[in-house]
Structure 1
């Protein structure tokens, strides 16, 4: 089990790449390592590293390597996101994809050529570092492919899959054998017309990444201490398994945080503890990576209010109550490792078509699958999920340890009417 944090530099946020200060980075990493964490996820800003399609700045790449080496000195592994992309409500796309040079970042051959060269270069620069976990293609790049983005690069599901395979291959070319993956925000699981699908997330790349944010309607509907809220991360981990071809495919809870005001500051430690403990009850969980390490400084303007307070540490590197709660969990799990038992009850997920998932909104807050999962959990079950097309596949169910299958309508009827049967 891995425990880490998404590294947000305390000085200058991700603009720190413009004024890179290795001593400040080292101090940040010291404050992260002091919590007992074992890895960081780091974010080069794409326009800063590749300002022209054929210019990948050597000095920027060298700074990334310096950060990786500083992390290694403190016992921290690193995962590197490449195409940034989108962070904390801001888009960072290079000028050679915008305005007078407007081109689709997922389909234009020259843009893809530039992306491939960039990802391969970053991966290759870190390939010989023992603490390099691997590349994540980018942070929630699926948000560029559909609404509610104000200017999306529209693509089809097939085009999304082609693009993912190509850029993942570029990472493998740069650093063979590392853990390379891609990461979507929850629209991939919840939004009917999102071209990045659950099947993409659960079948492409070395493992499945899920990002859990309860401001998506979960906390608004169920309250800050509701079962669905405190189990939202666990729900996404288990929902992802419905689409996985490998019954033992690992899942990385790559982003999860305590967003104010839905989770007030005085409640953040409790929310952190409940969310992480519930996620740790999911078999096959690769790790938990909290969002984020340090608060955004109030000296920086125009962030959404919640972004200023998501850090485990303040912008002057002091641990907050949530940090102490997470550190306690980490210390406890290191002292006494535990393997969760299989989840034997599976909730049927019917989204119309396994590949396109045209009705995946049933999995979103308020949807039949989402609410049934919350009801099962509140009633003391430890549910997982299974696609409707696999609900009668005894070999698949047995491989996952599933002995009972229920439908959302059956849960609504207190399990009886919709029980498919004990196996």
Structure 2
């Protein structure tokens, strides 16, 4: 599914689908009627797509067993979504969800193997991703595969039991898994998605260059509990523009100046965003993100609150939904619905960001000093300061800051360094 020419493609709005019955454990007791009711409530907000999360150990409990019934249920969910006008993106390797890890037994304890480098694990992952993609390849509403949800968190600190790899091994893993998705469903929008260690953490094996150059689109996940809200406050410019900052940061590493960027996860986490400010934060975050060029769409985390009957989630995870666990629309849901109505059929046409802040992250590929981009880092704080002053700064890598062709392609006419911002 081509994703080029975002300048003429209507903006997409969606939600990360969190089932009301059993959360993602619903795959163990799959109830299509409950799924249909959930999807009805999502579609009623005017949204046009969902992101869906199979649980890897449920779908592939043995390296050579991909359960046909589980795959069939995934297809049933996609078909139910189509009946409600919803497209579907499927995450494959879950992986990690809302503080819980879901890894199959054939990668753990007595069978402990590195999920990014062990040859047998890699072949199993390939077959799994290819199978899911192929099962949906003939569905018109299938957008494509995301390799997994923030699977980079397994590759290093602060994970308590990481599968450590090098930058080169991460690159090879991404290339191989994206190729498997393409084999299963040629021409669809296959991508990978990492949490912000890829952008902010020195030495992390998953890098900004990989995020901005591999896969059909760049995915960014914006969470202000990463130090942004703690440092700047709930209503601060830096907090309300964090998603926009990540979009612009991704464009600094992109080879294609008009590479589409998908704001694939963004939410209003309490207490960093109090409940009475969630609607305001939601509107401000989306409006600011749409002031960036080449945004493919916005997918809110998440569709429905987590039931309080389920134990041991971090407190903030229970209340991130656009709807309650009883499918009642929350203030953030009303804010999204209003934005969907405002933007229906329209394509953002933001003005060119002609001033760019220089990012010296210690090399294009390894980005050895990328912590300058994190909250508290020189680049982040300078970008936030410029934005608070009313500027609309882009970001450009130090290695490209004097490349006339690169600057011209992006419409950049002026560059400045964080030191010059003060």
> Is this a same-fold pair by TM over 0.5?
yes
Matched, 1:79 2:89: yes
* Distance across 2 between alignment mates of 1:116 and 1:247: 31
Equivalent position of 2:247 in the other structure = 237
* Distance across 2 between alignment mates of 1:14 and 1:109: 29
**Residue 335 (structure 1) shift:** 6.3
Equivalent position of 1:421 in the other structure = none
Equivalent position of 1:293 in the other structure = 303
Equivalent position of 1:216 in the other structure = 226
CA RMSD of aligned residues (A): 0.7
- 1:171-210 to structure 2, matched below 5 A, reads 171-210=181-220
Q: 2:362 aligns with which of 352, 355, 360?
A: 352
- 1:23-62 to structure 2, matched below 5 A, reads 23-62=33-72
**Residue 59 (structure 1) shift:** 0.2
After TM superposition, the score normalised by the length of structure 1 is 0.97
Provide Cα deviations, 1:31-66, integer angstroms capped at 9, x if missing partner.
000000000000000000000000000000000000
**Residue 338 (structure 1) shift:** 3.5
Provide Cα deviations, 1:112-167, integer angstroms capped at 9, x if missing partner.
00000000000000000000000000000000000000000000000000000000
**Residue 339 (structure 1) shift:** 1.2
Equivalent position of 2:399 in the other structure = 389
Equivalent position of 1:268 in the other structure = 278
* Distance across 2 between alignment mates of 1:338 and 1:130: 25
Equivalent position of 1:155 in the other structure = 165
Equivalent position of 1:415 in the other structure = none
**Residue 193 (structure 1) shift:** 1.5
* Distance across 2 between alignment mates of 1:43 and 1:386: 34
Q: Secondary structure at the match of 1:182?
A: strand
Q: 1:398 aligns with which of 386, 391, 408?
A: 408
Equivalent position of 2:385 in the other structure = 375
Equivalent position of 2:148 in the other structure = 138
Q: 1:13 aligns with which of 23, 26, 36?
A: 23
* Distance across 2 between alignment mates of 1:292 and 1:241: 25
Equivalent position of 2:334 in the other structure = 324
* Distance across 2 between alignment mates of 1:100 and 1:185: 29
Provide Cα deviations, 1:172-228, integer angstroms capped at 9, x if missing partner.
000000000000000000000210000010010001000000000000000000000
Q: 1:361 aligns with which of 352, 355, 371?
A: 371
* Distance across 2 between alignment mates of 1:333 and 1:164: 34
Equivalent position of 2:4 in the other structure = none
**Residue 336 (structure 1) shift:** 5.4
After TM superposition, the score normalised by the length of structure 2 is 0.97
Equivalent position of 1:416 in the other structure = none
* Distance across 2 between alignment mates of 1:337 and 1:193: 37
Q: 1:112 aligns with which of 116, 122, 135?
A: 122
Provide Cα deviations, 1:278-333, integer angstroms capped at 9, x if missing partner.
00111100100000000000010000000000000000100000000011011011
Q: 2:256 aligns with which of 246, 250, 259?
A: 246
**Residue 337 (structure 1) shift:** 4.4
Q: Secondary structure at the match of 2:92?
A: strand
Equivalent position of 1:419 in the other structure = none
* Distance across 2 between alignment mates of 1:104 and 1:337: 43
* Distance across 1 between alignment mates of 2:16 and 2:243: 16
Aligned residues: 412
* Distance across 2 between alignment mates of 1:379 and 1:335: 32
Q: Which runs of 4+ in 1 moved over 6 A?
A: none
* Distance across 2 between alignment mates of 1:76 and 1:249: 24
- For the 8 Å contact 2:229–2:239, the answer to whether it is kept is yes
Higher RCO, Cα 8 Å, sep 6+: 2
- Unaligned segments of structure 2, at least 5 residues: 1-10
- Unaligned segments of structure 1, at least 5 residues: 413-423
